[in-house]
Amino acid sequence: MAIEIDLSGHLALVTGAAGELGRPIARTLARCGADVAIHYHTSREKAEKLLAEIRQIGVRAMTVQADVTDEASVLAMREAVAAKLGSPDILVNNAVIQYDWKSILDQPVADFESQFRSCVLQTVLMAKAFVPAMIEKNFGRIIVTNTECALRCWPNEGAYAAGKRGLDGIVRVLAREIGEHEITVNQVAPGWMISDKQRLPHVERQPAYEKNVPLGHRGEDQDIANAVAFFASDLAKFITGVYLPVSGGTVMPGI
């Protein structure tokens, strides 16, 4: 008997769905049968294009704009999604604020604050907004995008690593707090994945990075989407609190 991921009857909300990793995540969840709410902050055109693609798959979908670091905006997003599609039982916290990486001594304090807001605070606000409905259903899947950088801690990664390490802590606490309601909370930690940003200018190969990857090459954005779909499915119903690197072995959490 073949094992399949069937998310029919579920509704997924993907933050940052118009971004490089968000697009394949949203498409993959839709191909597994889930209805999808496509969140964006400023990338409306990309979100609308993705919406057209997902509707062709045959599931329900919508776009929704919000600032995931602002409580009022997150609550407004909850109401907009509920009015059109219902209450999400799959939540993918994927949005992150982009900034220029510099050494800790040169990095503006505002960048440390932005990473805290888009990593830690986003997860707190999204949980407050959407977990109560999951508790009522006695079912939920929360998947959060972390990064290999949280363990790697290389130069110029200070603000990013700090935000994502804080995210790791809040996610593990949340997993313990709401597990009794059959809600799982897991993290997917990408390496430097190949996405459309590299495919279009044909810069997929990065020898300096690849030499530190045990598998010898970079992964694809679809690899991240596959991990998210797994965590969203019943195949992972007894897995929670996990930090899963999808990085070809660049980081290997110890025991």
Calculate ∠ Cα 193-28-233, nearest 5°: 105
Q: CA 17, CA 47: separation in Å to the nearest integer?
A: 7
Question: What beta strand segments (E) does 138-208 contain?
Answer: 140-145, 183-190
Catalytic residue among 40, 160, 209, 243: 160
What residue has token string 């579920």? Answer: 10
Which residues in 57-91 are b (16+ Cβ under 10 Å) and which e?
Answer: eebebbbbbbbbbeeeebebbbebbeeebebbbbb
Q: CA 133, CA 137: separation in Å to the nearest integer?
A: 6
CB 134 within 8 A of CB 11: no
Q: CA 10, CA 8: separation in Å to the nearest integer?
A: 6
Q: What is the DSSP string of 7-71?
A: -TT-EEEETTTTSTTHHHHHHHHHHTT-EEEEEESS-HHHHHHHHHHHHHHTS-EEEEE--TT-H
160 has catalytic annotation: yes
Catalytic residue set: 160
